[in-house]
């Protein structure tokens, strides 16, 4: 990063407070509690993984953080401000296919600045810079459909980070990728996150992924999702790919697997 | 990569077969007309052979009448279809995006929709003071419903996650309409425009046969009443050509406006 200074702009990101949150979905007889009694904080610049079985409400919680989902009970605040609808301050990256198919890569990335009224030359310059950071300089004038899945996710990350969000939300962003691309993308993400430190909440059902990426993992139970363990990871950064074979990694993995087997009735795939 | 030779040869052969198919149809027609073929329920006694049709076509193409006929037909289609496109896309957006607009606009439209546009001809002659306007109106009605319905379909089916993403990136209501909903619905809108173009021509030709003064439908019907039988078929061919031309125009427009639908390179 050069003059743009996304990192310098707002320090290390926002502090998230999740206070006794309950989210109920559905209506009438089919209503159910997606998550209940959630209570935790995410420190500025922290990379937190929400880990849990499918249907444990972790994506629902992320939707609430993004402002797309209304909270039934409790409060969520970022830097003390309650969440009131979606905002570029809380950028979200979905699993797949949310790039605008009709916009070329650099115009997808420049969308946020365009909405803020940034001049064309200026926003395209910013887009080019951040595309360089995610390693896609050569693909500026491609349409999303011309890119591989991993490349598309890089564009998604760039499109969110160009807004200098206080919080980066990621909803199983790599789960649709093949195993090799996925681990490559995990390294790419850590690399970007080191260059632009941002409070990050990363939702996944993949234990290896959570252990490899996170400073801290919150393990959730099956529906209604509750916190069953809040785990600080001791691994140093930068993380190397062979981390996954170290004894401590394997020990923690076994520990988390046991937790999920106990509290998550749904099968957990790794 | 060059295609293997045998596939090239096969392609050539297929074109030969296709040409043969068309030529045999023409030959059968020529024979039937020449022989005054009479099959009881069906007779070729009054059907001119292709050679006469070509002669009549040459005469028409040389005369200034052709431009006048085509010109007035095109002007009507331009007005009626253009109006239907504007109203249809506008209404489609409103219905697709707003529940109130949907409740307000959709019920009368649903009631009118099953009535074929051609059935409007007598009433529209009564309503409009000039036959010109009544023909434009029929063309309008013919194109309106497919355009509205396809626009609504396209607008409603824009991927929710794209809308969520746009909102998360700071998109305002108006910006989302322009930047996300319009391009997202574009393929469906173009489909509606293409279907509308077909029905629009169909309705125009019918209306011209009934109340026209000029126009290619009128020309065809006039040829029948004046017993210039070769001209009937010339009229039919011109109508076909114009329909073909307008649908080519729409396909091209679609390609130009939606370049992301067929990108040149794929990774």
Q: How confident is the model at residue A264 (pLDDT cuts 50, 70, 90)?
A: low
Q: How does pLDDT run across A101-114, given as a tens digit for each residue?
A: 999 999 999 999 99
How many CA atoms lie less than 13 Å away from A8 in the CB half-sphere?
A: 5
Determine the structural domain holding residue A254 and report its residue range: 6-263
Q: What is the ipTM of this complex?
A: 0.85
Cα–Cα dist B101/B92, whole Å: 10
Check residue A108 and give its pLDDT. Answer: 96
Partner residue opposite A97 with nearest CB, options B161, B259, B265: B161
Q: What are phi and psi of A98, to 5 degrees?
A: -120, 10
Q: How confident is the model at residue A11 (pLDDT cuts 50, 70, 90)?
A: low
Is the CB of A146 less than 8 angstroms away from the CB of B168? no
Partner residue opposite A91 with nearest CB, options B161, B168, B267: B168
With vertex at residue A264, the alpha carbon angle to CA A258 and CA A267, rounded to the nearest 5 degrees, is: 90
Instruction: Confirm or reject contact between B175 and chain A (CB < 8 A).
Output: yes
Per DSSP, the residues of B45-98 read TTPPPHHHHHHHHHHHHHSTHHHHHHHHHHHHHHHHHHHHHHHHHHHHHHHHH-
Taking only residues 59 to 88 of chain B, the set having a beta carbon closer than 8 angstroms to any beta carbon of chain A reads none
Partner residue opposite B267 with nearest CB, options A68, A151, A160: A151
Q: Is the pLDDT of residue A268 over 50?
A: no
Is the CB of B186 less than 8 angstroms away from the CB of A102? yes
Q: How does pLDDT run across A144-201, given as a tens digit for each residue?
A: 999 999 999 999 999 999 999 999 999 999 998 999 999 999 999 999 999 889 999 9
Contact A18, A37 (CB under 8 A): no
Name the domain count of chain A. 1
- Find where tokens 């930068």 sit: A238
Whether A270 is in a domain gets the answer no
Partner residue opposite A115 with nearest CB, options B169, B265, B267: B169
- For chain A, give the percent of residues with pLDDT over 90: 74
Check residue A130 and give its pLDDT. Answer: 94
Whether A269 is in a domain gets the answer no
- Find where tokens 């409400």 sit: A57
Check residue B261 and give its pLDDT. Answer: 85
Q: Is the pLDDT of residue A7 over 50?
A: no
Q: How does pLDDT run across A78-105, given as a tens digit for each residue?
A: 999 999 999 999 999 998 779 999 999 9
Instruction: Confirm or reject contact between A163 and chain B (CB < 8 A).
Output: yes
Mean pLDDT to the nearest integer, B8-22: 91
Average pLDDT of chain A to the nearest whole number: 89
Average pLDDT of chain B to the nearest whole number: 90
β-bridge mates for residue B43, sequence order: B38
- For chain B, give the percent of residues with pLDDT over 90: 76
Is the CB of A147 less than 8 angstroms away from the CB of B161? no
Whether A1 is in a domain gets the answer no
Whether A42 is in a domain gets the answer yes
How far does the CA of residue B192 sit from the closest CA of chain A (Å)?
A: 19
Check residue B4 and give its pLDDT. Answer: 58
Instruction: Confirm or reject contact between A166 and chain B (CB < 8 A).
Output: no
How far does the CA of residue A161 sit from the closest CA of chain B (Å)?
A: 10
Check residue A210 and give its pLDDT. Answer: 95
- For chain A, give the percent of residues with pLDDT over 70: 93
Which CATH number is A78's domain given? 3.40.50.300
The token duo for B17 is: 């077969």
Q: Is the pLDDT of residue B122 over 60?
A: yes
Q: Which of A71-80, A146-155, A258-267, B128-137 has the lowest mean pLDDT?
A: A258-267
What predicted TM-score, i.e. pTM, was given to this entire model?
Answer: 0.83
Is the CB of A68 less than 8 angstroms away from the CB of B164? yes
**Domains of chain B in sequence order:** 53-259 (1.10.3720.10)
Instruction: Confirm or reject contact between B266 and chain A (CB < 8 A).
Output: yes
Q: How does pLDDT run across A127-140, given as a tens digit for each residue?
A: 999 999 999 999 99
Partner residue opposite A100 with nearest CB, options B164, B180, B259: B180
Q: Is the pLDDT of residue A9 over 70?
A: no
Q: Which residue does chain A place closest to B176, by CA atoms?
A: A115
Is the CB of A88 less than 8 angstroms away from the CB of B168? yes
Is the CB of A67 less than 8 angstroms away from the CB of B183? no
How far does the CA of residue A244 sit from the closest CA of chain B (Å)?
A: 30
Cα–Cα dist B215/B132, whole Å: 11
Whether A182 is in a domain gets the answer yes
Is the CB of B169 less than 8 angstroms away from the CB of A67? no
Q: What are the Cα distances from residue A168, in Å, to A85, A156, A197, B231?
A: 15, 11, 10, 71
- Find where tokens 């076509």 sit: B57
């Amino acid at each position: 990063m050069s003059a743009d200074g996304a990192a310098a702009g707002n320090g290390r990101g926002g502090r998230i407070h999740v206070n006794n949150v309950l989210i109920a979905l559905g209506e009438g007889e089919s209503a159910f509690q997606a998550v209940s009694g959630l209570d935790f904080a995410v420190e500025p610049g922290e990379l937190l993984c929400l880990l849990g079985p499918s249907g444990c409400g972790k994506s629902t919680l992320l939707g609430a953080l993004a402002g797309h989902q209304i909270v039934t009970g409790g409060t969520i605040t970022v830097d003390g401000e309650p969440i009131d609808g979606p905002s570029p301050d809380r950028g979200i990256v979905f699993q797949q296919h949310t790039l605008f198919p009709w916009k070329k890569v650099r115009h997808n990335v420049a969308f946020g600045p365009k909405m803020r009224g940034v001049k064309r030359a200026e926003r395209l310059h910013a887009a080019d810079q951040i595309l360089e950071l995610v390693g896609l300089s050569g693909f500026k004038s491609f349409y999303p459909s011309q890119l591989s899945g991993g490349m598309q996710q890089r564009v998604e990350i760039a499109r969110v980070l160009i807004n200098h969000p206080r919080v980066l939300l990621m909803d199983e962003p790599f789960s649709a990728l093949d195993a090799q691309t996925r681990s490559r993308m995990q390294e790419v993400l850590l690399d970007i996150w080191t260059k632009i430190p941002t409070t990050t909440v990363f939702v996944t059902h993949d234990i290896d992924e959570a252990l490899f990426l996170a400073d801290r993992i919150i393990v959730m139970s099956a529906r209604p999702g509750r916190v069953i363990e809040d785990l600080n990871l001791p691994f140093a950064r930068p993380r190397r790919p062979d981390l996954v074979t170290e004894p401590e990694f394997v020990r923690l993995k076994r520990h988390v697997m046991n937790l999920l087997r106990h509290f998550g009735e749904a099968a957990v795939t790794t | 990569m060059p295609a293997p030779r045998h596939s090239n040869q096969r392609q050539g052969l297929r074109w030969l077969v296709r040409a043969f198919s068309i030529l045999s149809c023409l030959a059968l027609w020529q024979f039937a007309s020449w022989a005054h073929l009479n099959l009881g329920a069906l007779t070729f006694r009054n059907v001119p052979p292709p050679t006469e049709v070509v002669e009549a076509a040459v005469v028409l193409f040389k005369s200034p009448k052709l431009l006048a006929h085509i010109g007035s037909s095109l002007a009507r289609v331009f007005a009626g279809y253009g109006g239907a496109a504007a109203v249809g896309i506008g209404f489609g957006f409103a219905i697709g995006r707003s529940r109130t607009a949907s409740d307000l606009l959709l019920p009368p439209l649903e009631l009118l929709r099953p009535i074929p546009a051609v059935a409007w001809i007598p009433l529209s002659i009564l309503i409009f003071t000039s036959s010109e306007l009544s023909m434009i109106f029929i063309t309008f009605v013919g194109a309106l419903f497919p355009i509205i319905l396809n626009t609504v379909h396209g607008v409603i089916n824009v991927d929710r996650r794209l809308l969520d993403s746009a909102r998360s990136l700071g998109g305002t209501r108006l910006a989302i309409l322009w930047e996300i909903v319009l391009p997202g619905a574009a393929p469906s809108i173009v489909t509606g425009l293409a279907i509308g173009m077909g029905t629009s021509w169909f309705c125009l030709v019918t209306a011209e046969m009934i109340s026209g003064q000029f126009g290619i439908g009128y020309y065809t019907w006039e040829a029948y009443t004046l017993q210039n039988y070769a001209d009937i078929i010339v009229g039919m061919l011109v109508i076909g050509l114009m329909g073909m031309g307008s649908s080519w125009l729409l396909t091209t427009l679609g390609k130009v406006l939606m370049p992301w639908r067929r990108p040149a390179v794929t990774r």
